[in-house]
Chain A
């Protein structure tokens, strides 16, 4: 085969592949928006669902999802921050750094269904908390912990050594140095990581489907230990009734709402990252 022919074939395959990728991208966007919008209405967003979701709206599903993500945020943020600070300020030995890194990356790689099983065994059964939204929040928090830790840690690392030295040489104790120079940055970076983590958490089905959610008859929980409904589990239930066109339409509507929420989180994170990269020290 001549060189020129090879080259042309190669170019051809590049364009084909890219065309396929972009076509897929456009297909997904247009379908989700197109089908989703046709299901959208004010009633849809504000009314209760009925008949396993094929009728009615998704109000309580939205509430449930927000409740789960909010609790995940509150639980995970301080933990992640603490670990990031510990990792950068207190650990000196390389061996320990490697161990913590491995643990963080391992936690990050665990499949979401395993989190679900873990939650089922440990919280729902062993600790006897039953199927509750609070447990859902805990599990989601565990899931996004690595993302926040890494983001916060990166932020701390970008603090110049001179900051710490200058603060220390003014007679500040270790915790005072951390408190004044490091924590603000750690929180900043951690918050971006939190947004990224929440973008993922709000769309997850497997971790919460046996431990936090119920499919019908759920409104606003009255205590910590009650189930809620959520958008992803709702979509799951509807997808399994796909032969029912009304159910299918509601599935599209729910999907669009879910994607909008995901994008709010991920775009906020993106904006923060862009802004952050413009700051000079």
Chain B
């Protein structure tokens, strides 16, 4: 009886593990399988500018550009604001308030992305279109801006943890030497917190790359690279936005579908590489400590 129970128990945990592993691998395999046709038929032409299913042109360059640009804008805004705010919450606010503010910020991180998309449509796109005098407020800049708001809580919370976990003695020693707050932070605290904050940024980057709904609603969904390329107040396209809009529309099994899978697969590779890199980065850090 006992041996039997033992066997069932062991069987259950082994089965669960293998199912989980199988699913992860399956996702990769399926995506690759269904993008294979596109890689074969289209090959390097995937990296051209024009995306037109009607003429069987599947160039993803504008999506790649859009993804990088939107993510770049998001990081450009969120990283400095986030880190500075984290300094505020970890160094300046009295301890008893810190937990409340942190919890409030963490709750923000839980707001679903579709709601950010709604807010973007209702407010930010109108603001940006009137501020920059544009025909439409759906631009790369708008999407980047919303994305910044979405990743801000993550950066704030994790950077705050990074700063907070540095022992008091470092600050006291530096202040005792007559350093100004800015200098204490730059010369003493920052070198110690750097690695953890880099980790936080990597995490936020991963999220930003994979974000779909808000970007889809706000980026404009025009498959073009703006001219000049730095004009972020024009509409554009990202990989996730493209997938969100067209996967439902394309015929299953067609070349169109395969091309969409292909860009999805590339995104997947990008994000997973980033994730694994982050994981190794953190593991190395532990070893050094």
A residues near B (Cβ < 8 Å) are 3-4, 6-7, 10-11, 13-18, 20-21, 24-25, 28, 31-32, 78-83, 85-87, 89-90, 100-118, 120-122, 125, 142, 145, 149, 173-176, 178-179, 199-200, 202-206, 209-210, 232, 235-236, 238-240, 242, 248, 251-252, 255, 258-259, 262-263, 266, 270
Residues B244 and A4 in contact, CB atoms below 8 Å apart: no
Q: How far is the CA of A6 from the CA of B183 in the complex (A)?
A: 9
Min CB distance A219 to B, Å, is 22
- Chain A contacts for B27, CB-based, 8 A: 107, 110, 114-115, 118
- Asked if B135 CB lies within 8 Å of chain A CBs, one says no
- Asked if B275 CB lies within 8 Å of chain A CBs, one says yes
Q: How far is the CA of A145 from the CA of B19 in the complex (A)?
A: 11
- Asked if B166 CB lies within 8 Å of chain A CBs, one says no
- Chain B contacts for A110, CB-based, 8 A: 27, 210, 268, 271-272
Residues A117 and B85 in contact, CB atoms below 8 Å apart: no
Would you give 14 A-B contacts (Cβ < 8 Å), ordered by A?
A3-B182, A4-B180, A11-B182, A79-B16, A83-B20, A102-B279, A107-B23, A107-B24, A121-B31, A174-B10, A239-B117, A240-B217, A262-B110, A263-B107
Pick the contact of A176 from B2, B16, B23, B212 — CB < 8 Å? B2
Min CB distance B93 to A, Å, is 9
Pick the contact of B206 from A31, A32, A109, A205 — CB < 8 Å? A109
- Chain B contacts for A242, CB-based, 8 A: 121-122
Interface of A is mostly: helix
Min CB distance A13 to B, Å, is 6
Min CB distance A87 to B, Å, is 7
Residues A7 and B212 in contact, CB atoms below 8 Å apart: no
Q: How far is the CA of A4 from the CA of B114 in the complex (A)?
A: 45
Closest to A243 in B: B121
Q: Which 4 A-B pairs have the closest CB atoms?
A: A82-B16, A203-B112, A111-B210, A17-B84
Given contacts A17-B81, A109-B206, A203-B110, 6 further A-B contacts (CB under 8 A): A80-B16, A110-B271, A113-B244, A175-B6, A175-B9, A203-B111
Closest to B13 in A: A86
Min CB distance A76 to B, Å, is 10
Q: How far is the CA of A205 from the CA of B217 in the complex (A)?
A: 12
Most A CB within 10 A of own CB, among B88, B209, B276? B88
Q: How far is the CA of A265 from the CA of B180 in the complex (A)?
A: 44
**Quick one: CB contact mask for B1-45 with A, threshold 8 Å, 1 for yes?**
011011011101111110111011011001100100000000000
Residues B182 and A239 in contact, CB atoms below 8 Å apart: no
Q: How far is the CA of A25 from the CA of B88 in the complex (A)?
A: 15
For chain B, residues 245 to 260, give those with C-beta under 8 angstroms from any C-beta of chain A: 247-248, 252, 260
Pick the contact of B122 from A80, A86, A248 — CB < 8 Å? A248
- Chain A contacts for B19, CB-based, 8 A: 79
Closest to A255 in B: B115
Closest to A101 in B: B279
- Chain A contacts for B141, CB-based, 8 A: none
Q: How far is the CA of A175 from the CA of B15 in the complex (A)?
A: 15
Closest to A201 in B: B112
Residues A113 and B212 in contact, CB atoms below 8 Å apart: yes
- Chain B contacts for A240, CB-based, 8 A: 217
Residues A32 and B31 in contact, CB atoms below 8 Å apart: no
Q: How far is the CA of A252 from the CA of B113 in the complex (A)?
A: 14
